[in-house]
Amino acid sequence: MKHVIALDVGGTGMKAALLAQDGSVLLEARRPTGREHGTDAVVATILDFAAELADEGRTRLGSAPVAAGVAVPGTIDEKNGIAVFSANLGWRDLPLRKLLGERLGGLPVALGHDVRSGGLAEGRIGAGRGVDRFLFVALGTGIAGAIGIGGRIEAGAHGYGGEIGHVVVRPGGPLCGCGARGCLETLASASAVSRAWAEACGDPDADAAACAAAVEAGDPRAAEVWQVAVDALADGIVLAQSLLDPSTVIVGGGLAEAGDTLFTPLRTAVSERLTFQMPPVVVPAMLRDTAASLGAGLLAWDLLSTEVTA
């Protein structure tokens, strides 16, 4: 069956799939990124993994893959296929598209940004299926986002589009890793909630999931910590609503695992803040940790459809 290689390179693990044109997964595989072995070893692992997936496709699906897509973290030059910088994986100006293309015998390769690829998959085959304009927000260690317009992701002029985590919602607030104060991710990321709850409950190991559980159990201190995050998040979403007017806001990442404990107060907080804006539908992401890999596969398919129509 006709398929592409889809690969998501994360800080600790790589997720891969062979993907049919309708987005269905024909084969899945995972392996550690092994960044403790250094950047060169990580790159070698990516190339080896992709080559093995191509072999698997030939053996199990009866044909070679027709393209490959790879999603990586950090700063990306999608147009030129260069992984510009990743603090996590240590590379600078890595020509990953060229390296993969050479290793895969000249196969067309798409290079994508992990969060934007995840957003693309959520918008096309996940929680936003059939939605033309959406905002994807991932609440993890930080907060990242992606702007979906007409079946594609708007990356901006310099590849920084959708960075809702660095919208300032509390001027003069907590210091952010980016150097500014009061960025959304200092208040509403899973890490921010973990930190705030650990301080409030006195257990240094308490995390965001424990905070959500305490909210559900009726702990007023947890409710207070939670509301700080929900309010900040609602402020960020309403700002995006005013600028972009998406019909759907898809919320994923670790904090979204709290389900209704997050979504019920979040929807209320968003609707309380709207004045003239049309309310977005706020929904949980569906594809969890496979979103970026699936998105990389969709980018690979897009590459072929562009080639055909170009």
Rule CB under 5 A: which residues touch Zn ion? 166, 176, 178, 180, 183
**In this complex, which beta carbon is closest to Zn ion, that of residue 67 or of residue 192?**
192
Q: In this structure, what are the phi and psi dihedrals at residue 26, rounded to the nearest 5 degrees?
A: -95, -25
Q: CB 147: neighbour CB atoms within 10 A?
A: 24
**Smallest gap from residue 170 Cβ to Zn ion (A):** 11
Minimum CB distance to Zn ion, residue 173 (Å): 10
At closest approach, how far in Å is the CB of 117 from Zn ion? 22
Question: Is the CB of 116 or the CB of 166 nearer to Zn ion?
Answer: 166
In whole angstroms, how close is the CB of 228 to Zn ion at the nearest point? 17
How many Å apart are CA 309 and CA 242, to the nearest integer? 35
Pick the closer one to Zn ion by CB: 180 or 210.
180
Residue 180 or 274 with smaller CB distance to Zn ion: 180
Q: Is the Cβ–Cβ distance between 112 and 295 less than 8 Å?
A: yes
Shortest distance (Å) from residue 190 CB to Zn ion:
16
Rounded CA gap, 111 and 92, in Å?
15
Which residue, chain included where needed, has tokens 């907080």? 269
- Please tell me the number of Cα atoms within 13 Å of 146 on its side-chain side: 30
Q: Which is nearer to Zn ion, 149 or 178 (CB)?
A: 178
Strand order in the sheet with 281-284: 152-154, 143-149, 133-139, 248-252, 281-284
